[in-house]
Amino acid sequence: MSNPDPECVFCRIVSGEIPSNRLYEDDRVIAFHDIAPAAPVHFLVIPREHIPTADDVREEHADLIAHMYLTCTKLAREQDLVQPGYRIVMNVNEGGGQTCWHIHFHVLGGRTLTVMG
């Protein structure tokens, strides 16, 4: 992992210092179940690299972001979410609902999801 932030909860999950219920991991990403699920299936896909917000993503991260996204869709298929459907979300900054400062896709499914507010 490059540039871990010792104050960052998700960097501490990457290192294993904070335990998590992992669905998947490889050399670039980790997926784990959300501690406070907002749907019957709710997991997060994060990079091992510490990137604070989506606004910090640069061209050099393009392959990593694509890999995060494809990990979301692969796991959604494995979790049988494709029909009737599911949601992939990334919250950006306080006004967008972000509370953990290490980028992550939320994947939510297993119930009918209403329009976001």
User: Can residue 8 be called a binding residue for Zn ion (CB under 5 A)?
Assistant: yes
Catalytic site residue 104? yes
Contact 76, 112 (CB under 8 A): no
Residues 40-59 touching Zn ion, rule: CB under 5 A, are: 50
11 binds, among ligand 5GP, Zn ion, none (CB under 5 to 8 A by kind): Zn ion
> In 3D, which of 10, 16, 5, 92 has the Cα closest to residue 57?
92
- Find the catalytic residue in 42, 50, 104, 106: 104
DSSP 44-102: EEEESS----GGG--GGGHHHHHHHHHHHHHHHHHTT-TTT-EEEE---TGGGT--SSS
Residue 42 C-beta: closest distance to ligand 5GP, Å: 7
User: Which residues of this chain interact with ligand 5GP, rule CB under 6 A?
Assistant: 9, 18, 20, 32-36, 44, 91, 97-100
Tell me which DSSP letter residue 7 carries: T
Residue 80 C-beta: closest distance to Zn ion, Å: 30
Separation CA 15–CA 20 (nearest Å)? 11
9 binds, among ligand 5GP, Zn ion, none (CB under 5 to 8 A by kind): ligand 5GP
Residues annotated as catalytic are 104
Contact positions vs Zn ion (CB under 5 A): 5, 8, 10-11, 50, 102
